[in-house]
Chain A
Amino acid sequence: MFLKRFVKKVDFVLIAVLLCILVYGLLIVGTAGTSAAWIREILEQRGIQQNTMEYLWQASLWDRLSILNLYLVKRQATWIMLGIVLVAAVIYFPYNELKKHTRKIYILNLIMLGSVLIMGYEALGAQRWIELGPFSFQPSEFAKVLLIICLASFLSSREGKLNHLRDLIPCFVYVGVPMSLILLQPDLGTSLVFMAILFGMLYAAGARPVLLAGIVGSGLTLGIGSVWAHLKFGTWLPLHEYQLARLTIFLDPWKDFQGAGYHMIQSQIAIGSSGLTGKGLLRGTQSLGQFLPIPESDFIFSVLSEQLGFLGALLLLCLYFTLLYRVLLISREAKDTFGMLLAVGVVSMFSFHIFINAGMTLGIMPVTGLPLPLFSYGGSNMITNMIALGLVLNVCIRREKILF
């Protein structure tokens, strides 16, 4: 019964695109996990005395594929498998059921985020991780999908009653509580994702676009204005200096090319130097030379662009766009507002992540440390995104009409 409906109603285009992105990501993660020194060791084990770069320039594609970082690929593949299992699980239970548990989910979310502050351990200047047996995971990643569920439920009951600012205030409070917990970590990037989800879903739920645009506009103005005032007049700002530097350096990375701007510039060099078709798989000098920080996650878009050039990067963007487009179609066809809002929330989350991450590597967005969804290496992020897509597919197979 379930399977029949699944086959009849599921969006195969979306699934195909998703799988393409996942496989594509696996390949690039495999290359991003290598470095010249790392490859040198492998070549020495194989008795190849040739210069590393020279060898890579001559080696066939198969030879090169044989020196991918399989450890990362295997781990990432494991997360993907786990993700697929979770998708299946999420699809199985009708999504409407979730609506009943909204409060519990909301509280669970708060507990999870609170626990990070208490027992999380620090990495890269922020508390984001919780140890769970052999794994460590990032509650703020899961928080995003939990927020989408709660907010969809919260807003579906208020559809059409969101025309005034005072109607919106409860929504802000609703999102603001978990968001402030995230800000305390501090994780500016994820809290901005919360905002994106909130506004995307508010719009879908029928809030007045002009009102939303006004709030977004004044919010941006306020944010930029206070940063500007801080830089100019030294007014107080609830940010550490390093956070501020990361936020503003993209405007002129050469200003501090040995400091905060260094990675920004290295990323643009990686992308810019590759041209139309790129330097070739495992021939990216910038990534092999370890000029890019966290190449398998934050800067994976640079790694991809360097190796496969404009065409390779454009292919990924097209895949993403198709994916988002399909999810939007699903939202349009959803049988109820709750389903529609779930899908729009996922779209908001994905597009914000993509925009910020790729934009950062391209030097048009500040450094926030948001991963590229479904592509970057990392378990929490992968599972969160898969669950999110599971919800979308759940909405998809329980819609009334056939998609196209």
Chain B
Amino acid sequence: MKRKIANKKSLILIIIIGFIFVTLAGRLAFLQLVQTQRYQGLAQNNLIRIIPITAPRGEIRDRNGELLVDNQPVYTLSLSFLGVSEQKQRQVEKLVANILARDKNVGRDVSWWTDEIKKSLEKQARPFEPVKVAIDVSWETVVQVRERQMELPGVIVEEEPIRNYPQGELLTHVLGYVREIKEEQLKEHEGYRMGDLYGQAGLENAFESYLRGEKGARQIEVDAYGRPVDYRGVKEPVPGDNLTLTIDYRLQKAAEEALASGIKRAQKNGFKEAKGGAVVVLDVRTGAVLAMASYPSYDPSVFVDMLSVKEWEKMQQTRALSNRALGSYAPGSIFKMVTATAILENDVVDPSYSISDPGYYILGRRYNDWKPGGHGRVNLREAIKVSCNTYFFKFGRAVGHKEIARYAHEYGLGQKTGIELPGEQAGVVPTPEYKYNTSKAVLMRYDKEFQKVTDKYDQLIAQAKQANNEEKVQRLKKERDNEIESLLAAHSFDLEWQAFDTLNMSIGQGYNWYTPLQMANYVATIANGGELLRPYIVKKITGPDGETKKSFGPKVRRQVNVSPETIKIVQEGMRMVTEPGGTAYWSFRDFPLTVAAKTGSAEVLNHDTHSQFVTYTPYEKPEIAVAAVVEYGGHGSDSAGPITREIMDAYVQITRGEEFGKQNLNKTNNAGIQSNPPPQENIVEQEATFPDSQAQQAQPGTGESTPQIEEGSPPDSASQTSITEPGTEGEPGNDPPSSEQSTDGLANGPEVLQQEDMQAEEQP
């Protein structure tokens, strides 16, 4: 009996044990026989780390092969999660922060690094994917990390190429810079990962797809501590394609130095606000950009490491990042060649017909020339030479704003030139619509009457919306629109194109907005006889093996629809600008080549004028065109002129040799050979005009092309002839002019104007 019970008990026990073993075996079979593949995949993931190898970005060189940007290997420190306990992970992070704080390359203190590590780890998208914590750590750090690898599981130091700028800040706006890819870029472009570098500006951005190259990868087997056990294979990265630019780095250097020193000089000369400017040098035969400079500049290498907030703020404040050569400015008198073209093409007046300039033009009131007392008798060429406002008021008005706008377009103004660089502005050629829209925007935003109406209806509509009265909302909206409509009608004078707008437009003030690049290209078009070229800056793209992948050459956008005779006359006028009596004569005294030029001073309300200057040389067989602008730099020959001269001296030196200018000068002096200017008579006349020019220089306030306001007129009417300040580099079209311009001063007597209009009609 007892035995039987014992038997039964052992049977039950063995059944229980059997059940346990079957459970274990079943689970074993499930894992090993059913889910094998899944776990094999996981085991592979565990073991194999694919460590991407950053491809060196393509190098950028100037037209002569001078290196502008290349790469330099640095050590980076990354962290990856390893499955150690949280406590252990903290220890690792603390140790890393300590090591980095002692690093002499990266600096900063322990707490800063602790924060930085925390932030970096939060960015980690996937576990096991390393995140970069520090770039360019010192060799000492590398050694320390490697020696203490056992204490530092998951800490990886790697060599990685980063951007290197052998020429420092040279050409920085054109080259742009590289930074970690932004989130929206990550979404838009495939094949990138968090932490990858991406060209953020300039050529780095425009040619990102060429420059980036192809990432390589190192497949390694690691143990649980992330230590490499085996190297499985390496896929070498493919370096990015190299760019060869049309830029001549010597000329670029000269341009940047001239711009920087010219702006400093301008400040010294009393133009306190002269803090920015731009220069563009084009080859007029090809459209190749030989130099493009923007001031202030910045050091692109600051983007390689982490940028401090202070540095960033300073950059924002001075707008050092923006390429001013692609931002728009009012042109001032350098626009007058467009007006001249329109006048000639429309046969408004014979170019040799001279008017007698009393120093003002009457349209309801007096519109003064920049020179009190006037220029005396001037024909078209002379009008360009002395920048006679009266002449262009008179015939510009006769030819009409539409024709002027047409020829502005013809010369490529108000349109993107199509250069490869990102961020190019189109600029604005004034039209009645543009005036209407900008004036309306200003009214809507700043005029009290308009504000009253909008405020009133905003409130009412909000109430109606709260009451869910859709019908009433619609009705109120309609009422509001009607009221605004009638208000606008009352302001129609301010909104519609007026005759004085044509006057302003004729001399490059008013609603004209063009980029320095456009100005240079426009002058190049005049210089080469009417071929509108597409400016380009990249000459060649070569693969890492040196093989040419793409090459770029001159591209004619179109032959401008302007007769050769007209262009010839305009050229002659520009040539005379640099001759005795011309507004740029002083700038090109004893310059060894013949030069054609035009100065400009763009009015800015309550500020000094923008100093504009365009030129091309040599006159007979043009090679380069230069456009320069100095913000608030006074008149064309005050600031931009000397800068241009320095660049052109450098150009002569580069292309003709060190001694060219001097020899030539001596030659002309000794032998009187006329082939190259300055001709003998110039020198004679130079003395004759000297006192005059001196007087002009001594009085910067009385420079050319500033329409002076009649003394008796109300002070606020100044805005009629002044243009608004560009303010920021934003697209001018989207940038409503500031309030000062707005409506004030526009309330001139309409009947007087009508009278004047009739007069104008009679004139041609």
Contacts and interface: CB of A to CB of B under 8 A. Distances in A.
Interface string A303-317: 001000110011001
B83 interface: yes
B221 interface: yes
A54 B233 CA distance: 13
B46 A286 contact: yes
B32 A351 contact: no
Interface string B62-87: 00000000000000000001010110
B223 A272 contact: no
A144 interface: no
B39 interface: yes
A203 B27 contact: no
B39 A273 contact: yes
Interface in A302-343: 305, 309-310, 313-314, 317, 320-321, 324-325, 328-329, 331-332, 340
Interface string B242-272: 0000000000000000000000000000000
B13 A314 contact: no
A274 interface: yes
Contact of A269 (B14, B17, B43, B231): B43
Given A258-B127, A269-B46, A321-B21, A51 B36 contact: no
Contacts of B477: none
Nearest to A159: B2
B27 A364 contact: yes
Contacts of A275: 32-33, 36, 40
Contacts of A362: 24, 27-28, 31
A328 B10 contact: yes
A53 interface: yes
A43 B9 CA distance: 55
Interface in A250-267: 257-259, 262, 265-266
Given A313-B28, A344-B13, A37 B229 contact: yes
B28 A314 contact: yes
A88 B289 CA distance: 99
A309 B10 contact: no
Contacts of A364: 23, 27
Nearest to B39: A272
Contacts of A351: 16-17, 20
A61 B38 CA distance: 28
B13 A328 contact: yes
Residue of A270, A314, A354, A362 with most chain B CB atoms under a 10 A cut-off: A362
Contact of B21 (A36, A258, A289, A317): A317
B9 A204 contact: yes
B32 A291 contact: no
Q: Which of B33, B39, B127 has the most CB of A within 10 A?
A: B39
B31 A268 contact: yes
How extensive is the interface on chain B, given as a class? 35 or more
A23 B174 CA distance: 75
Interface in A235-294: 257-259, 262, 265-266, 268-276, 285-286, 288-291
A331 B10 contact: yes
Given A290-B225, A325-B14, A364-B27, A285 B32 contact: no
The DSSP consensus for interface residues of chain B is helix
B7 A320 contact: no
Nearest to B31: A272
Interface string B30-60: 0111011011101100110000000000000
A321 B17 contact: yes
B35 A272 contact: yes
A370 to B, nearest CB: 14
B320 interface: no
Nearest to B32: A310
A358 interface: yes
Given A53-B221, A332-B7, A273 B40 contact: yes
Given A200-B13, A328-B10, A362-B24, A37 B223 contact: yes
A10 to B, nearest CB: 19
B32 A276 contact: yes
Nearest to A262: B83
B42 A273 contact: yes
A272 B20 CA distance: 20
A32 to B, nearest CB: 14
Given A272-B35, A328-B14, A358 B24 contact: yes
B126 to A, nearest CB: 12
A359 interface: yes
A9 interface: no
B414 to A, nearest CB: 59
A266 B17 contact: no
A51 B42 contact: no
Contacts of B229: 36-37, 40, 52-53, 288-289
B189 to A, nearest CB: 30
A271 B224 contact: no
Nearest to A330: B10
Interface string B204-227: 000000000000000001111101
A333 to B, nearest CB: 9
Contacts of A262: 83
Contacts of A331: 6, 10
A203 B231 CA distance: 58
A358 B221 CA distance: 28
A268 B85 CA distance: 19
A272 B127 CA distance: 21
B46 A291 contact: yes
A291 B224 contact: yes
A200 B9 CA distance: 10
B654 interface: no
A314 B10 contact: no
B29 interface: yes
B309 to A, nearest CB: 33
B39 to A, nearest CB: 3
B630 to A, nearest CB: 59
B764 interface: no
Contacts of A52: 229-230
B46 A289 contact: yes
Contacts of B6: 331-332, 340
Contacts of B127: 257-258
Nearest to A278: B32
B36 A273 contact: yes
B27 to A, nearest CB: 4
A359 B24 contact: yes
B38 A272 contact: yes
Contacts of B225: 290
Contact of A268 (B9, B12, B39, B83): B39
Contacts of B10: 328-329, 331-332
A329 B9 CA distance: 11
A277 to B, nearest CB: 10
A194 to B, nearest CB: 18
Contacts of B38: 272
B28 A266 contact: no
Given A288-B223, A317-B24, A362-B31, A51 B7 contact: no
B25 interface: yes
B549 to A, nearest CB: 38
A200 B14 CA distance: 12
A312 to B, nearest CB: 10
Interface of A: 35-37, 40, 51-54, 200, 203-204, 206, 209, 257-259, 262, 265-266, 268-276, 285-286, 288-291, 305, 309-310, 313-314, 317, 320-321, 324-325, 328-329, 331-332, 340, 344, 347, 351, 354-355, 358-359, 362-364
Top 8 A-B pairs, shortest CB-CB distance: A272-B39, A273-B43, A289-B223, A272-B31, A273-B39, A310-B32, A36-B229, A51-B230
Given A272-B32, A290-B225, 18 more contacts: A36-B221, A36-B223, A53-B229, A203-B12, A204-B9, A204-B13, A257-B127, A258-B81, A259-B85, A272-B38, A273-B36, A275-B40, A288-B229, A289-B46, A317-B21, A317-B25, A358-B24, A362-B24
10 contacts: A40-B229, A52-B230, A204-B13, A258-B127, A266-B83, A289-B222, A291-B46, A305-B28, A317-B24, A324-B17
